[in-house]
Structure 1
């Protein structure tokens, strides 16, 4: 019996990637195997890495994946804006071509009228050439056409020049967009490899070790004298309410809600619900307002982690942040000191 296979569809860049991360990352696991050396044949249990060692390697891979994710988010944001610019440029080209066509039709009507009234003046014929500039450069011939014809010809000349410029700009933007899409593809591959390697290491932990895996990452926030429990503004209060409403929703790299989030996608979404626009990446969010000391943090402030600003959460009071940690961990509370704090920003 002949078998029939369903045709495979190639996903378009930027569409539906977060939802397919599990399948795609599993497919990339083989390529990522080089990142996680297999245990030597015949190795004894005592030779295997400890749970703490495995957790440390998993955390490092998640951190590297988060760095790659924020790079991906930045490129995706630029690509999205450029797509809009390309669409506008193409619309401009279409409108410019339509105007050129209308002007040519108008000049053709003038030529027809002149022909019917006694023959086509060579000067009018020149107006219908593909290059009216060459005709206008010959100023000595302008006295052979009327002022109305001269005005129409100058309009056509200007329209053609503008159309050529629009086409050049549209072509340049398309070329730039192609480069960004190639960069997105590479960033996507990097994230998939890191996450696949982390998943392989997770598979070497026992069920109990996996359930308790995140315990070793949290550090106590005791002794940190934070600024207070009241948000700094009404919009900060609204952002806190929004981020709390996302508790329990899954992490998905490149996602900015409402069903799933990565770290910067969560904070951007929460402030969007409060009517405030902040940048997409954690690095850009660090500069999205006034920086304050950690000791003065108020609910709604953005807590940016690590020197490279590759992770961000929202301070919600009580020494806690709400954040999207990593794949497999939903949006949740954690102590503000769970990892090194780079800065605190008040949008």
Structure 2
């Protein structure tokens, strides 16, 4: 029976125990090394970095245009809110003046032995409640009834203005929240793109920058000399775009020191006396749509399926545009990005 008993295992202590523990840890480390770090980022080639960065910048520009559109909406709402509040204030001041005028009559009527309903209204701490509970049309004379009617209408108008102002304030707060979301999205995409670019070596980054430039800057003077704009306004817009070359891209900027893509197109045509809307997806619907084969200097050229980028065509297959964060306004071929359409401001 004893021959079949399971051998008793001995616990290692002292130096032997420490040696066993060391070997066990070494084995675990070796196994982990073969498995690889759980969260290590894959090593990307420069081409893969470029593809990812391009995608991130496209997403950032799309978010920028949404930010621009929301900002226009917020600015209009803020202006409307200010206008409503100003009107409510003016009407309240006029109403107070009317009530004060009625109040000046009170002492004379009091000395004469009574207060008519109009004066009671003027002195009431709650005119709305007084008007609600009093049958003034029957209790007042025709002159006082007309005055009361005017005050009643003014109170109603002020109440309406306040309701509308409250609605505008709610809209403004919603737009401000939306602006914050779009701003966060832009910053997140730009930050991710920059972290990818930081992984490139100096020669790789230089190559990336050359690819973005496309060799177009060297052809700038030659292309400018070849420009034949169809009219004076288009010529003025193109001249403005050339004058902006080298100025930095800053998202949300409309010049004159910095631009985003739609900010540049808007500023260029504004210099020619034409008011364009703020965003790419509204600018493409302004003026006359033109085909790629009929492009003329000054036309706006749009890119990507979401109409998230715009440039100003200057002839010879070239455009001037504000490309992306970290870059500057530059000349570039229009086939550098997926063409989505074109429009000719009028």
> Normalising TM by the smaller chain, what interval?
0.7 to 0.9
Paired with 1:175 and 1:132, the residues of 2 have a C-alpha distance of 26
Corresponding residue number in structure 2 for 1:156: 151
Pairing partner for 1:242 from 227, 240, 243: 240
Pairing partner for 2:72 from 58, 77, 82: 77
Relative to structure 1, is the Cα distance of residues 267 and 278 closer, same or farther in structure 2, using a 3 angstrom cutoff?
same
Contact in 2 for aligned 1:219/1:339 (Cα 8 Å): no
How many residues are paired up?
300
Q: CA deviation at 1:220?
A: 10
Contact in 1 for aligned 2:88/2:158 (Cα 8 Å): yes
Q: CA deviation at 1:125?
A: 2.3
Relative to structure 1, is the Cα distance of residues 150 and 134 closer, same or farther in structure 2, using a 3 angstrom cutoff?
same
Q: CA deviation at 1:113?
A: 2.6
Q: Map Cα deviations across residues 2-36 of structure 1 (whole Å, 9 max, x no partner).
A: xxxxxxxxxxxxxxxxxxxxxxxxxxxxxxxxxxx
Relative to structure 1, is the Cα distance of residues 115 and 252 closer, same or farther in structure 2, using a 3 angstrom cutoff?
same
1:218-233 correspondence to structure 2 within 5 Å: 229-233=227-231
Relative to structure 1, is the Cα distance of residues 122 and 147 closer, same or farther in structure 2, using a 3 angstrom cutoff?
closer
Which fold has the larger relative contact order, with Cα–Cα distance below 8 Å and residues 6 or more apart in sequence? 1
For normalisation by structure 2, the TM-score amounts to 0.80
User: What is the root-mean-square deviation of aligned Cα atoms in Å?
Assistant: 2.7
1:61-210 correspondence to structure 2 within 5 Å: 61-121=56-116, 124-126=119-121, 128-129=123-124, 130-131=126-127, 135=131, 142-210=137-205
Paired with 1:258 and 1:106, the residues of 2 have a C-alpha distance of 54
- SS at 1:265 equivalent: helix
Deviant stretches of 4+, over 3 Å: 40-44, 121-124, 126-129, 131-139, 141-144, 214-221
Q: CA deviation at 1:207?
A: 1.4
> Which is further off, 107-116 or 204-213?
107-116
Corresponding residue number in structure 2 for 1:329: 327
Q: CA deviation at 1:286?
A: 0.6
Relative to structure 1, is the Cα distance of residues 125 and 61 closer, same or farther in structure 2, using a 3 angstrom cutoff?
same
Paired with 2:118 and 2:317, the residues of 1 have a C-alpha distance of 83
- SS at 1:237 equivalent: helix
Structure exhibiting the larger radius of gyration computed from Cα positions: 2
Q: Map Cα deviations across residues 107-156 of structure 1 (whole Å, 9 max, x no partner).
A: 212333322333324674256433468648865x5354332212211111
Relative to structure 1, is the Cα distance of residues 196 and 132 closer, same or farther in structure 2, using a 3 angstrom cutoff?
closer
Relative to structure 1, is the Cα distance of residues 152 and 304 closer, same or farther in structure 2, using a 3 angstrom cutoff?
same
List gaps (5 residues or longer) in structure 1: 1-39, 222-227
Q: Map Cα deviations across residues 307-331 of structure 1 (whole Å, 9 max, x no partner).
A: 1100000001121100000112110
Relative to structure 1, is the Cα distance of residues 126 and 184 closer, same or farther in structure 2, using a 3 angstrom cutoff?
closer
Q: Map Cα deviations across residues 60-89 of structure 1 (whole Å, 9 max, x no partner).
A: 111111111111111011111111111111
Residue 320 (str. 1) matches residue 303 (str. 2): no
- SS at 1:291 equivalent: strand
Q: Map Cα deviations across residues 173-214 of structure 1 (whole Å, 9 max, x no partner).
A: 011100110111111111111111100110111212212214
